Structures are given as C-alpha cells and as structure tokens.
Structure 1
C-alpha cells in the first residue's frame, strides 16, 4: 500500500468527518452532505474507485459512530464514489467523474436510500424526496470538486497522481 495514497486518503477522511458537522442540509431522516461529493470526485481522479469506496465508507462509518450521519450515508456516498472512479478510469476525463458522482449518488444512491428508508427504517416518503436533493447535492459537490482539482493541478503538487493533468488545466 502506498504511504502517500494512504496519507492523502486519511486527510480527506478527516476533512469529510469534521465538515459533516458544519456543512450539511437536513432533509427529514437524510442529511445532504455536498463535501462528500467533492471528496468522491477528488478520489475518483486521484486514486480510482476502490480507494474512493473505502474513503466514502470510512467517512460514513465515522459519521454514524459520532451521530452526525445516518445509514443513508453509506449507499449514496459509496455508489457515487464507485461510479465516479470507474468512469474516470475508463475515460481519463474529469467530467465523467462528475457525471459518475451525480448518477451514482443522485440517482442510484437515492433509489437505494429510499428503499432503505422505506423498508428497513420504516420511514414513509416519496422517491422524489430523495432523488431531487441527492442530485442537487452531488451536482454542487461534483462541480466544486472539479474546480478544486483544477486549482490543485495548477500547482503541480499532485501531478504524480493525476494521470491526465492536461484535462484539468
């Protein structure tokens, strides 16, 4: 395991956990968390889907253990991280990491979260109650992650991790 990847992943986990107390939008039993989407896009571009899933899982787990998250944090963040990482890996274009994040979290993750809320948590709601906010949050977070990556790419600090740095400049 690469120590640099592990260190940067740990730093992003810390940012994800700490910011969850500051930047979130409560929507019933769900908490929309745009910083998670920023982190998912960054992880997709820098390290791919497997590190992205691990970071999303650990942020969700720690948030739940601290009482700042819900069970719905797992499917949305992990599916978005996976799809963002797979699409970026297959295209080498950061726009596809954003699309993967929005589709993975905003649509697929929202449907899974709706199912968990309805069948496991006993919370009645409509599917649009999940899909709308999840899409909005993942779109805002995905675009923010893209611009943060562009800013980082200009400094060449993470050049070793970004396979297609010209895509971001």
Structure 2
C-alpha cells in the first residue's frame, strides 16, 4: 500500500465514523447508509482497499456501541462488489457507475450470510427470521440511499476530472 492509498483509507474510515451516528435500528441490526456511501466512494477510488475501510469502520462502530456484528456481512461484500465493478467498468470509462453495484454485494451476499450464518451463530436465528422482510427492507433502503449518494458524488468527481 502506498502513502496515497493509506491516506484514502484513513480519510474514508474517518468519514464513516463521523457518519456513524446516522443509523437506524432494524430488528437485531443497525442500518447505516453512511457505510454504503463510503463503500461506494472507496471502491471507486482505492479499489479492493475499500474492504479494509469497511472492516475498520465496522470494527470501530462495534467497539463504540454504534453498530452490531451484522456490520461485517452488511458492509464487506458491498465494498468488494463496488471494487470489482470499478475494475471492470474503468476500462470503458464508466467507473463512476460502480457504486450502484453496492446493493448487489450487501443484499445479494451480505444479507443471506447474516440470515443463515451470523444470526444462527449468535442465537438470533428465530428473531432474525421473524423480521426477515422488514430487515431486508431496512437494509435495502439503507444501501439504496448510500449507493445513490456515492454515485452522485462519483459522477461529480468524474465531471470535474478527479476520477
């Protein structure tokens, strides 16, 4: 990792933590649109290092009591999806659209992982299953808002020639 990438990791982690109080409870989880926003921008700007940012934000939020263990499966797959989308779209000059892939990772990989692995391992399987649709809706709203915001910022950066 070079110094510029490290600086991005620190700034994105700080941004995610500054936005951390803006979350809402959804069953045994906390939906955090700021995480999806940071995942979208970090995935476009620093690629796979966005996974480190998501890991740091999730860990620090958990330690501060601002998040739950569901932050890991809720954020890491989304960051990976954006980083991969950015890699493949960069060749066509369309990498500003990569943040829109964040819901695929969060809802397509992270949510099933939470429902079928993490929740049962924590003894929350029944509680999670009872609220499956509301939890999914809360996560979908969270990732939609965060990903859309990241898309608009990435598009603005692209128009400004910074992306």
TM-score (norm 1): 0.84
TM-score (norm 2): 0.86
Mind listing any 5+ residue stretches in structure 2 that lack a counterpart? none
Moved over 4 A (4+): none
Alignment of 1:2-151 (within 5 A): 2-21=2-21, 23-48=22-47, 50-92=48-90, 93-94=94-95, 96-123=97-124, 124=126, 125-126=128-129, 127-151=132-156
Q: What displacement does 1:122 show?
A: 1.6
CA contact (8 A) 2:27 2:135 kept: no
For residues 73 and 64 of structure 2, what CA distance do their matches in structure 1 show?
18
Q: What displacement does 1:117 show?
A: 4.8
Q: What displacement does 1:95 show?
A: 6.1
Number of equivalent positions: 156
**Secondary structure of the structure 1 residue equivalent to 2:30:** strand
**Structure with higher helix content:** 2
For residues 88 and 71 of structure 2, what CA distance do their matches in structure 1 show?
26
Higher relative contact order (CA 8 A, sep 6+): 2
**RMSD, aligned α-carbons:** 1.8
For residues 19 and 53 of structure 1, what CA distance do their matches in structure 2 show?
18
